[in-house]
Amino acid sequence: MTRFLARRLGYLLVTLLVTSLLIFLITQLLPGDVARVILGREASEPALQALRERLGLTRPAPVQYLTWLVAFLRGDWGTSFATEQAIRPLVLERLGNSLMLAGLTLAIAVPLAIALGVAAALRAGRWPDAVISVASLAVVGLPEFVTGLVLIEVFAFRLRWLPANASIAPEAGFLEALPMLILPALTATLVLLAYIARLTRASVLEELGRAYVRTAVLKGLPPRVVLVRHVLRNALLPTVTVVAISVGWLISGLIVVENVFNYPGLGRLLTFAIDRRDVPLLQAISLVAVLAFALANLVADVLYAVLNPRIRLG
């Protein structure tokens, strides 16, 4: 297991290094002049040139990349061009908000989707299977802003159970922010539900048809034991992959959901950086999002190894 973890950590470090280079190259290819964006169209050329030199934009690209990467690893993520604030505390604050929303979404979506997938597989071809499939596909087919607006109309305006606005206070704790997190989390849950449920259904059906399951049943093992100890142990391997991929989307890709509910997450900060061509902020957010995605995949690999020890021998 130690060698397995060491290999995966090595892959993670290489991935982050290559990704950091790609992020830097892509941000360098963005159209427009950063100095012009900051100073405006009426700025004189001497003023623009002075700002470019102050920001280090006139140095060779390799020097800019190494300077940025070394400073980032030391914890100096630079200063935002748009707000002139230190980037690191701003990104970490938004990351904490996104992690709260992602955690609540996963806590709701994963158990519910697995339960629905297993229920559909155990009743394949009958009305529960049809209802679960049709309902989940109908929901996931709706755009996120439509789902969010419907939830706001029902639970915020008509029933008045939950707030329509998720603009939480800075440094708010999870329990304090929980009432405002529920509607955004439900919106994201409805997006994930069909994918995870249908994948679980297909995997469980495949495992139920295998010889080892029939052998376990013929030996007289209770159906619950066969399902939990044997079927789900193998059927959940593809589901783990989908959940790991979803973590990256939940942390930095909930742009529509965050805008609908006015939630101060990493996705909204990303759109802010793109709109204002705030290159240092854009680079920091992108690298943090990649790190979160890589760590989620590392956890998925470990779960793979726990569920199927043969993977550690590969």
Burial environment of residue 310 by CB neighbours within 10 A (0 to 12, 13 to 18, 19 or more):
exposed
**Average pLDDT of the residues of the chain:** 84
What is the pTM (predicted TM-score) of this model?
0.83
Q: Which helix (H) or strand (E) holds 137?
A: helix 127-140
Is residue 313's pLDDT more than 60? Answer: no
CA dihedral 71, 23, 271, 85 (to 10 degrees): 10
Give the pair of three-digit tokens for residue 136.
Answer: 């989940």
Nearest to 255 by CA among 270, 273, 243, 242: 270
Residues 74-106 pLDDT 10s: 888 888 888 888 999 999 999 999 999 999 999
Residues 2-31 pLDDT 10s: 777 788 788 888 888 898 898 888 877 776
- Note the pLDDT of residue 186: 92
Q: Kindly provide the b/e burial profile for residues 156-168, where b requires at least 16 CB atoms within 10 angstroms of the residue's own CB.
A: beeeeebbbebeb
Is residue 54's pLDDT more than 80? Answer: no
Is residue 131's pLDDT more than 60? Answer: yes
Burial environment of residue 304 by CB neighbours within 10 A (0 to 12, 13 to 18, 19 or more):
buried
| Domain ranges for the chain | 2-73, 87-312
Give the pair of three-digit tokens for residue 76.
Answer: 């100096």
Give the pair of three-digit tokens for residue 204.
Answer: 């469980």
- Note the pLDDT of residue 104: 93
**For 287-301, what is the mean pLDDT?**
84
Nearest to 79 by CA among 48, 61, 46, 54: 54
- Note the pLDDT of residue 310: 62
- Note the pLDDT of residue 58: 75
- Note the pLDDT of residue 220: 79
* CATH of region 87-312: 1.10.3720.10
Write the CA distances from 169 to 9, 80, 172, 229, 264, integer angstroms.
Answer: 36, 21, 5, 44, 9
Nearest to 189 by CA among 155, 128, 139, 255: 139
- How would residue 175 be classed by pLDDT, with cut points 50, 70 and 90? confident
